[in-house]
């Protein structure tokens, strides 16, 4: 499931956009856009997945060594997002504001609570976030985000719902969920995207097929929609393997998939019934 917010992308978290193509000195202010999205939980049984953010902070590279106050507050407005609405390349802007020019390497979210509603259950689960509203959730930005005077920079925060909501017990004996957010920060200046269609051998769309990118470990995941379409945005430039799988079909992988900054890579899948 994928959706995006500025400072957050669907089944997932935040996006700060950086479209800087030239280098300037760090004097003055640049514009910072933060969006949020999600990296998917298995959405077939999920009706909604909400996250309430109460504060957002960011930190410059090297700050805090001498001044003891490295974090700059970007927002203290309470915002509740439904990550189910942020899927397959959809992003929602969380913040869009001017910040001092410079190089930023960390962002911190204060999450008060999260909620999850299953399609077969009338009562939603309300999940408190351990320490999330007190100490915040620190996310490293790699590579760091350069905000230049007069230009716009964008950062995407992608929350992995499949690992962030931890089921207590099993689906038959469900004792609720624990929320331990797993968030990936992507500098959109050096990132690209991959997208495509997942079908069977008769060219029928395969809904909820899982697609994931790997580079030593899993980098990001998506689930195909009702048209078989999937998209993963904010992918750091590099070479990956990409895999599609769905119960009842053979798993299919492609190696050596190249993602380039600012570019779109197309990769379709045609899965064979078992």
Measured between alpha carbons, how far is 191 from 180 in angstroms, rounded to an integer? 26
Residue-range domain boundaries for the chain: 15-190, 192-271
SS3 201: coil
Q: What is the pLDDT of residue 46?
A: 78
Q: What is the pLDDT of residue 188?
A: 86
Model pLDDT for residues 108-159, shown as the tens digit of each residue: 999 888 888 878 777 777 776 766 557 888 999 888 899 998 888 899 988 8
Measured between alpha carbons, how far is 28 from 243 in angstroms, rounded to an integer? 44
Q: What is the pLDDT of residue 106?
A: 92
Q: What is the pLDDT of residue 193?
A: 94
Homologous superfamily (CATH) for 192-271: Carboxypeptidase-like, regulatory domain (2.60.40.1120)
Q: Which residues of 67-98 are buried (b: 16+ CB within 10 A; e: fewer)?
A: eeebbeebbeeebebbbbbbbbbbbbbbbbee
**Which pair of structure tokens corresponds to residue 154?**
């964008």
- DSSP characters over 18-67: E---S---S-SEEEEEEEEEEEPP-GGGEEEEEEEEEEEEEEETTTTSSS
Measured between alpha carbons, how far is 166 from 144 in angstroms, rounded to an integer? 30
Q: What is the pLDDT of residue 27?
A: 63
Measured between alpha carbons, how far is 41 from 21 in angstroms, rounded to an integer? 35
Q: pLDDT tens digits, the chain, 274 residues: what are they?
A: 333 333 433 333 344 333 333 434 556 788 888 776 655 445 667 788 888 899 999 999 887 655 556 899 999 999 998 887 887 788 788 889 999 999 999 999 998 888 888 787 777 777 767 665 578 889 998 888 999 988 888 999 888 776 777 766 555 555 667 777 778 888 888 899 999 999 999 999 999 899 999 998 878 888 899 999 999 999 989 999 999 999 999 999 999 999 999 899 999 999 999 8
Task: Please count the other Cβ atoms lying within 10 Å of the Cβ belonging to residue 165.
Answer: 25
Q: What is the pLDDT of residue 176?
A: 67
Residue 81 near residue 53, CB atoms below 8 Å: yes
The pTM of the full predicted model, rounded to 2 decimals, is: 0.72
Residue whose C-alpha is closest to residue 41's, from 86, 1, 3, 81: 1
Q: What is the pLDDT of residue 58?
A: 93
Q: What is the pLDDT of residue 74?
A: 94
């Amino acid at each position: 499931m994928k959706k995006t917010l500025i400072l957050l992308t669907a089944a997932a978290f935040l996006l700060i956009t950086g479209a800087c193509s030239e280098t300037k000195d760090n004097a003055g202010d640049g514009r910072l856009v933060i969006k949020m999205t999600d990296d998917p939980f298995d959405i077939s049984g999920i009706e909604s997945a909400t996250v309430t953010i109460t504060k957002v902070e960011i930190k410059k590279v090297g700050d805090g060594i001498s001044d003891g106050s490295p974090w700059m507050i970007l927002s203290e407005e309470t915002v509740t997002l439904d990550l189910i609405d942020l899927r397959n390349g959809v992003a929602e802007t969380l913040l869009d504001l001017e910040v001092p020019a410079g190089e930023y390497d960390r962002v911190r979210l204060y999450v008060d609570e999260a909620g999850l509603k299953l399609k077969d259950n009338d009562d939603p689960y309300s999940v408190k976030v351990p320490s999330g509203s007190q100490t915040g959730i620190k996310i490293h930005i790699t590579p760091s985000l350069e905000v230049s005077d007069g230009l716009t920079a964008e950062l995407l925060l992608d929350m992995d719902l499949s690992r962030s909501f931890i089921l207590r017990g099993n689906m038959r004996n469900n004792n609720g969920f624990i929320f331990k957010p797993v968030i990936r920060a992507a500098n959109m200046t050096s990132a690209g995207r991959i997208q495509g269609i997942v079908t069977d051998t008769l060219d029928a769309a395969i809904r909820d097929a899982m697609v994931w990118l790997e580079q030593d470990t899993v980098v990001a995941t998506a689930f195909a929609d009702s048209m078989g379409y999937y998209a993963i945005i904010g992918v750091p430039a590099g070479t990956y393997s990409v895999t599609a799988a769905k119960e009842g079909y053979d798993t299919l992988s492609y190696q050596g998939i190249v993602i380039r900054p600012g570019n779109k890579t197309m990769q379709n899948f045609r899965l064979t019934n078992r």
